[in-house]
Chain A
Amino acid sequence: MRKVVSTAAVCSVFLAVATMAADNDGLTLPAGFSAVVVHEGQGQARHIGVAPNGDIYIASRNGLSAMRDTNRDGKPDVVSTFGDVKGTEVRVFRNWLYVSDDVGVYRYALTKGQLVPGGARETVVGEFPRERQHADKTFALDAKGTLYINVGAPSNSCQERDRQEGSPGMNPCPILEKYGGVWVFDGTKLNQTPANGRRFATGIRNAVAIEWNAKQDALYAVIHGRDSIDSLFPKLYNAEDNATRQAEEFHKITDGGHYGWPNTFFDTKLGKRVLAPEYGGDGKKEPEAGKYPDPVVAYPAHWAPNDLLFYEGKGFPEKYREGAFIAFHGSWNRAPEPQAGYKVVFQPMKDGKANGPYEVFADGFAGEMKDNSPRNAQYRPVGLALSPDGSLLVTDSQKGRVWRISYEGK
């Protein structure tokens, strides 16, 4: 009798463990993939970087943290906070940890075997003007150390009076002189200011998700599209239009390119680029043909693309190679229509172009999201990184949760 009871107890424990492992922490994933929580609690996490030895670095609104899994159970057991940088970007490049906040890009020297950088913070580019809107200086680095910095526009649509009903767009938009584009610097030089950079591409409202594609030897970005076409131009657009029409545009960013902000936006309903209402748009009028490139892919409005990663690992099946993962933080400007986004999407790609429609890769982050209010989202995915073992790490800005998504086959 005693034996029977204990067997039953053991069985139920096994069942519980199996259920926990199988539920992927509530996330929905394609068949064969699984998700586990590796950490939680580093504040409002933003982007995430991984060193070749698997050490994890997380940027957050609360500061930087470093984590190491010394006992190899897949979860960091050493967690330290360090430095004084509160921002979004963090990348391991050569023997350096590059990070950024709203006004600069910095780096710390990494010492072999040592998790937390011991040396002082060095400024790579400093003195960007302090702004409130779209201020995160996210960046990408190519193999040579060229630094591409996203300098978001502190504006919605370059209106004479920002976000005010009916206000016309400034033409030409003076904001584009110093913002609304990607500026390029030598990422190996120190103590630069914005004046040392060169405007690489313009007409980019805010590209939090910016990434160098090594295989294509090219820069890519997913851009946050404009807000509020309905409340600013109620005679042209209604709330449903605003919730659905202004694409989040995925572009290959080339030297000298203009990607259409603030003059235009890509209208997902019409499937083409249209003039913004601030710049003579009437809901369907198009810009001069060929003036601005069409996106590689147009994603639904307001999904908020906050990180981009080209999968260069070997852990995932063949179809994921060359493709892109995009973390969508989720909408606020869709209200009163239902919010959307809050997921990680996989974009099949070949030769640097889309190779089929996007696929929802990881979903279920937001939970029920009471009152359709983003603050009530359970989690909001924001950062992506590739682990040396080929798994994908995803961060969340609500609770600082970090997941590892692995492929286990079948």
Chain B
Amino acid sequence: MRTRFFGLSALAVWGLTAAPSFAAEPAPGQLLYNKHCLACHQADGGGVPNMQPAIIGSSWVKGDSRALALFVMSGGFDSASRKESDVGNVMPPFRQLADEELAAILTFIRQKFGDGASAVSAAEVAAARPSDQDPGTKKPESGS
């Protein structure tokens, strides 16, 4: 019994530490996050001091999924909730991504950085999508 107990805990520890390299292919949302978001918001969602904001626990990420989808598709800077000195770079709009891609990214960040907030569907992204489909005609809001 005792041996088995140790064996299990050792296995659990091994499993925890080795998990990343043995895990199945990352979810599509994570791959898309890595491609489009990670450079700025970093792998841990912690952002970069004075450059790009952390998204861990962000009220945007946890909150209304349509508002989040619209924010990511519009780009810009949330001047209401950020101090000017916190952030240097304004987020570009990600309207060039398909509804399904955005839904996967948003689902991933809500699950990982948004306290497990609910998944976002492609239909919700489509409903939030601004009527202006040209990603170039609307300049990102500069905040101040």
Report which A residues bind B (CB closer than 8 A): 44, 61, 86, 130, 132-135, 160-165, 167, 227-228, 231, 242, 332-333, 335-336, 370-376, 397-398
Which of A61, A231, A370: most chain B Cβ within 10 A?
A231
Q: Bound state CA distance, A384 and B57, in angstroms?
A: 36
Interface residues of B in 3-55 (CB under 8 A from A): 34-36, 38-40, 42-44, 46-52, 54
Given known A61-B50, A332-B51, A336-B34, contact A371–B44 (CB-CB < 8 A)? yes
> Number of B residues whose C-beta is below 8 Å from A?
34
- Specify which chain B residues have a CB less than 8 angstroms from the CB of A228 in the assembled complex: 39
Given known A375-B48, A375-B54, contact A86–B85 (CB-CB < 8 A)? yes
Q: Taking the complex as formed, is B72 at the interface, i.e. its CB lies under 8 A from any CB of chain A? A: no
Interface residues of B in 122-144 (CB under 8 A from A): 135-136, 139-140, 142-144
Q: Is the CB of A231 within 8 A of B135?
A: no
Pairs across A and B, CB under 8 Å, 25 listed: A44-B49, A44-B50, A61-B85, A132-B77, A132-B88, A133-B88, A134-B88, A160-B136, A161-B92, A161-B135, A161-B136, A163-B92, A164-B92, A164-B135, A165-B96, A227-B39, A231-B39, A242-B39, A332-B51, A333-B39, A335-B39, A336-B39, A373-B44, A374-B49, A398-B49
Q: Is the CB of A336 within 8 A of B48?
A: no
- Specify which chain B residues have a CB less than 8 angstroms from the CB of A242 in the assembled complex: 39
Secondary structure of the B contact surface, majority rule: loop
Q: Is the CB of A375 within 8 A of B143?
A: no
Closest CB in chain B relative to A242 CB, distance in Å: 8
Secondary structure of the A contact surface, majority rule: loop
> How many pairs of A and B residues are in contact by the CB < 8 Å rule?
81
Q: Closest residue of chain B to A163, judged by CB?
A: B92
- Specify which chain B residues have a CB less than 8 angstroms from the CB of A164 in the assembled complex: 92-93, 96, 135-136
- Specify which chain B residues have a CB less than 8 angstroms from the CB of A231 in the assembled complex: 35-36, 39
Seed contacts A163-B89, A373-B43, A376-B46; 14 additional CB < 8 Å A-B pairs: A133-B89, A162-B92, A164-B136, A231-B35, A231-B36, A231-B39, A332-B39, A332-B42, A335-B38, A370-B44, A371-B43, A373-B42, A375-B54, A398-B49
Q: Closest residue of chain B to A135, judged by CB?
A: B88
Q: Taking the complex as formed, is B117 at the interface, i.e. its CB lies under 8 A from any CB of chain A? A: no
Q: Taking the complex as formed, is B87 at the interface, i.e. its CB lies under 8 A from any CB of chain A? A: yes
Q: Taking the complex as formed, is B119 at the interface, i.e. its CB lies under 8 A from any CB of chain A? A: no
- Specify which chain A residues have a CB less than 8 angstroms from the CB of B44 in the assembled complex: 370-371, 373, 376
Q: Is the CB of A373 within 8 A of B39?
A: no
Q: Bound state CA distance, A273 and B94, in angstroms?
A: 31
Q: Bound state CA distance, A397 and B26, in angstroms?
A: 35
Q: Is the CB of A332 within 8 A of B136?
A: no
Closest CB in chain B relative to A39 CB, distance in Å: 20
